[in-house]
Amino acid sequence: MKALKIIFIFIFTQNILAQNNLTKAEAEALPNTIENQFIKIYRLSNSWQEYKMIKRTHFISFQKNILDSIKVIKTDATSKQIKIDEQLKTITSLQTKIDTLKNDLSSSIEKENAFSFLGTTLNKTTYNTILWSVITGLLIGLAFFIYRFNNSNVVTRETKDLLADTELEFEQYKKNAIEKEQKLRRQLQDEINKQRGVS
């Protein structure tokens, strides 16, 4: 109410200069707004010394118009307040739904990023780390065994080659030994034959 009074007083004081320049006929012809009603009531009032005298009918009409305007403003303000309250309820409801959806989304993301493995719930990152650690360990073990196998294979090949060389040498030695033995037997036989022939 105070705000409306201040507005009316402000409008009234702002229009005093304009009111002095209008005739009564021009004042009557103005549109029926609150601002113009102030001008009309001022122009249609009579002057007595430094006072303005307003007709009772003009005052009652002016008062009725002001009260009607205030009623319209109050009704408009009330309807706008009702709309604001409804919108606040809607906003609160939507905020609650948003919070619920955020919580549901967070739990869904957690469920998606985790799964049960051997009776324990693991995060995908932890599972991937464990899996790749195991795979890396197995690959390192495989590489180690391949290295050891190749190393053993080289040693086995060298040993087989050495064994083959040794067998060749042994065969050669055997052959040489047989030849020596045969040679010695021949010599012995020759000596026996000489001894028999001599005697």
Confidence at 198, pLDDT banded by 50, 70, 90: low
pTM for the model = 0.41
Task: Calculate the CA 84 to chain-centre distance.
Answer: 33
H/E stretch holding 116 reads: strand 114-117
* The pLDDT of residue 136 is above 50: yes
- For residues 62 and 69, what is the distance between their CA atoms, to the nearest angstrom? 10
- Per-residue pLDDT of 70-120, as tens digits, reads 888 899 999 999 999 999 999 999 999 999 999 988 888 777 777 676 677
* Domain residue extents for the chain: 2-85
- The owner of tokens 């919070």 is 99
Q: Exposed/middle/buried for 48, CB within 10 Å: 0-12, 13-18, 19+?
A: exposed
Query: Cβ distance 69 to 34 under 8 Å?
Result: yes
**What is 80-98 written as a DSSP string?**
HHHHHHHHHHHHHHHHHHH
Higher-confidence position of 126 and 149: 149
Per-residue model confidence as pLDDT tens digits over 42-68:
777 777 777 777 778 877 887 888 888
The answer to whether 115 and 121 have CB atoms below 8 angstroms apart is yes
Range of lowest pLDDT (35-39, 55-59, 153-157): 35-39
